[in-house]
Amino acid sequence: MTEQTPVGAWLYDSLPEVYRSRDASEGYPLRDFLMVLGETGDTLLDEAARLYDNQFIETCDEWLVPYIGALIGYRPVHDVGRVSQRALVGRWIELVRSKGTAATVEEVARGATGWPAKVVEYFQNLAHPQFINHLRPQVHGGIDMRNAARLEDLGSAFDSAHYTVDVGRIALREGQHNIHNVGLFLWRLRTDQWPRHQAFQVGPRRFALHTLGLDTQVFNTPVTESGADALAGPVNLPIPLRRRFLDANLSDYYPRAFRIWVNGLEVLPGGLRICNLSDFGAGWAHAPDTTVAFDPVLGRIATPASSDPPESVEIEAYTAFPSDIGSGAYERATGFATALVPVTTVATGDNLQTALDGVQTGGAVEITDSETYPGSFSIDVDADQRLEFRAANGQRPTLDLTADMEITGAAESEVSLDGLLIGGGAIVVPDTGTNALRRLTLRHLTLLPGISAEPDGTPLQPTAPSLVIEAPNVIVEIDSCVLGGIRCHPSTVIEIRDSAVDATETVNVALAALDGESPGGRVTLGESTVIGKINARVFTLISNAILMAELATGDSWTIPIQAQDTQTGCARFSYIPPGSKVPRRYRCQPSLALAEAMAAAKEITPVLSPAQETAITRRVEGRMRPGFNERRYGRSAYLQLRNSTPVRIKAGADDESEMGVWHQVYQPQRESNLLTRLDEFLPSGLEAGFFYET
Percent of the chain with pLDDT over 70: 90
* Nearest one of 328, 326, 318, 255 to 292, comparing CA atoms: 255
Please report the pLDDT score of residue 14 as a whole number. 66
Condensed to tens digits (0 to 9), the pLDDT of residues 125-141 reads 777 666 667 766 666 66
Condensed to tens digits (0 to 9), the pLDDT of residues 375-385 reads 999 999 999 99
Please report the pLDDT score of residue 473 as a whole number. 94
Q: Is the pLDDT of residue 562 over 80?
A: yes
User: Beta partners for 689?
Assistant: 183
Please report the pLDDT score of residue 344 as a whole number. 92
**Average pLDDT of the segment spanning 571-594:** 92
Condensed to tens digits (0 to 9), the pLDDT of residues 21-43 reads 777 777 777 666 767 666 666 66
Say how far apart CA 181 and CA 158 lie, in whole Å. 16
Per-chain mean pLDDT for the chain:
87
Q: 102-113 vs 85-97: helix axis angle to the nearest 10? A: 170
What SS3 class is residue 504?
coil
Q: Is the pLDDT of residue 170 over 90?
A: no
Cα within 13 Å of Cα(635), Cβ side: 15
Inter-residue contact 590 to 618 (CB < 8 Å): no
Say how far apart CA 374 and CA 502 lie, in whole Å. 24
Inter-residue contact 300 to 215 (CB < 8 Å): yes
**Average pLDDT of the segment spanning 283-305:** 89
DSSP 164: P
Q: Is the pLDDT of residue 3 over 80?
A: no
Residue 395: CB atoms within 10 A of its CB come to 23
Please report the pLDDT score of residue 602 as a whole number. 83
Pick from 73-87, 107-121, 166-180, 413-427: least confident: 73-87
* Nearest one of 292, 106, 316 to 191, comparing CA atoms: 316
Pick from 155-164, 232-241, 322-331, 409-418: least confident: 155-164
Please report the pLDDT score of residue 40 as a whole number. 67
Q: Is the pLDDT of residue 430 over 90?
A: yes
Please report the pLDDT score of residue 1 as a whole number. 46
Condensed to tens digits (0 to 9), the pLDDT of residues 232-269 reads 888 899 999 999 989 889 999 998 999 999 999 999 99
Q: Is the pLDDT of residue 523 over 50?
A: yes
Condensed to tens digits (0 to 9), the pLDDT of residues 636-681 reads 999 999 998 999 999 999 999 999 999 999 999 888 888 887 877 7
- CB-based contacts of 338, cutoff 8 Å, min separation 6: none
Please report the pLDDT score of residue 616 as a whole number. 84
Inter-residue contact 79 to 73 (CB < 8 Å): no
DSSP 193: E
Phi, psi at residue 7, to the nearest 5°?
-60, -40
Please report the pLDDT score of residue 129 as a whole number. 64
Please report the pLDDT score of residue 95 as a whole number. 74
Q: Which residue has the higher pLDDT, 567 or 4?
A: 567
Say how far apart CA 253 and CA 219 lie, in whole Å. 10
pTM: 0.87
Q: Is 81 left (phi over 0), alpha (psi -120 to 50) or beta?
A: left
